[in-house]
Amino acid sequence: MTWKLCPLFLFVLLQINLIYGLTNCLNDKNHYECKLSTMVPYRNIANYEDSPIIYPGCIEKKIWLFIRHGTRFPDKKYAIRMIEEFPELQKLILTNFDANKTTLEASQVAKLAKWKMHFEKDDSKNIAEEGENEMIDLAERFQSRFPQLLKKDYTNNTYKFKYTATQRAEYSAKNFVLGLFGKKKSLQVSYEVPEYRDPVLRFYKRCKRWRKKIEDDPDPKQQQTKFLESAIVENMLKEISNRVGLEVDFKKAYLMYITCAYETAFHGDSPWCDLFSIEDFEFRSSEEYSVVAYFTHSGAILKLLSLIGVAKDEIPLTHDSFLFHKANRVWRTSFIDAFASNVAFILYECESQGPSVLFMHQERIVNLPNCPENTPCPISVMKDMYPDNHEECKFDEMCYNLKREL
């Protein structure tokens, strides 16, 4: 639905068949770390090939980066439940194992017996050390690919940095800057003032129509509800219950799942992951600047990818298509929207075709629909595909916004 996204894409254009080579996860899609949805740590899908990207006859002029914050701690509502419920759940499972009521292996139970909670509820949604490192490394690789754009000397008329009004986005920006300039120079960097319901970074939060129709209305969530009521989920819960020797409902299973995900991101492993089979993991699964880097959230990344046409399945995902799409879908959030996911638009001036744009997702070149292969896409082609002026993107009008509501 273009009305939800055109202000963001309009900004990109005014500022300046999907190709993936997913390191680790591409080689082993069936590893559980590749099935943790939007909580996959970026190290599992990062592109570590950071050689300079060069197109003969083209000179890079600008780069626009749109980056999801790095790995963070879980939401407070889940953190509280983990802290309050999991020590008792741990004891119950260990007791059930001793009573031969589980199907767990001794090695899995030994790991679970050593488990302790490693964060506090006050950490909720804050960036984790893993997330800080993701940003530093990401900056260094982009700088290696585009050394003429991402220079190591900072000037405030060359670089523009902005983040949403959240700790995780702010610290993501500052660690990205640390990766670009080093510890001493990074202290000299200035940032744009964060905005509540930022019109670019969280455009959907600023859209009254979206908040009413999508975020608060249960109707658009029918496919999810139907799937959760399906025999597939029912059988999955029965298998998990049998595995641990006690009845597990969906809320409990999901809490175990996200605990597995976050601890894997933080520590590389979690005993809670052992309570699932590999099949279980499928169920969830501006003109004056030459460098603009924005730090945002999962919701914005996914909506931008949807508009652009990245990871678009020929057959829509619905509640009854799970078995068909289980191994064949391209809209796989574990790959396209992990922590620290990133989108980049690089503006080139090319001798043969004039102003052109290279699109990258997860540090990999992506050939957009209707764009020529092996070369940046001419601006004229992109303007034909996407909204490129304010007349095509009357945001407040489309969103039913009144000025006083913003």
Which residues are 66's β-sheet partners? 294, 343
| DSSP per position, 149-162 | TS-SS--TTTEEEE
Tell me what pLDDT residue 227 has.
82
Nearest to 117 by CA among 75, 84, 93: 84
Sign for the CA dihedral angle at 380, 385, 391, 393 comes to negative
Query: Which domain does 263 fall in, by range?
Result: 2-405
Can you give the pLDDT of all 406 residues of the chain as single tens digits?
A: 444 455 554 444 444 333 333 347 767 777 788 888 889 889 999 999 999 999 999 999 999 999 999 999 999 999 999 999 999 999 999 999 999 999 999 999 999 999 998 888 889 999 999 999 999 999 999 999 999 999 999 988 899 999 999 999 999 999 999 999 999 999 999 999 998 888 888 888 888 888 777 666 666 677 778 888 888 889 999 999 999 999 999 999 999 999 999 999 998 889 999 998 877 776 555 446 789 999 999 989 998 898 888 888 888 788 877 777 777 788 888 888 999 999 999 999 999 999 999 999 999 999 988 899 889 999 989 888 887 666 667 778 888 886 545 4
How many structural domains does the chain have?
Answer: 1
The CA angle 278-37-271, to the nearest 5 degrees, is: 50
pTM equals 0.83
Q: Which residues contact 328 (CB under 8 A, 6 or more apart)?
A: none
324 CB neighbour count, 10 Å cutoff: 13
Q: Which residues contact 210 (CB under 8 A, 6 or more apart)?
A: 4, 204, 399
Tell me what pLDDT residue 132 has.
97
- In this structure, the strands spanning 159-163 and 291-296 are parallel
Nearest to 32 by CA among 349, 298, 305, 263: 263
Tell me what pLDDT residue 16 has.
39
The pair phi, psi for residue 350, each rounded to 5°, is -110, 140
CATH number for the domain including 367? 3.40.50.1240
Tell me what pLDDT residue 21 has.
35
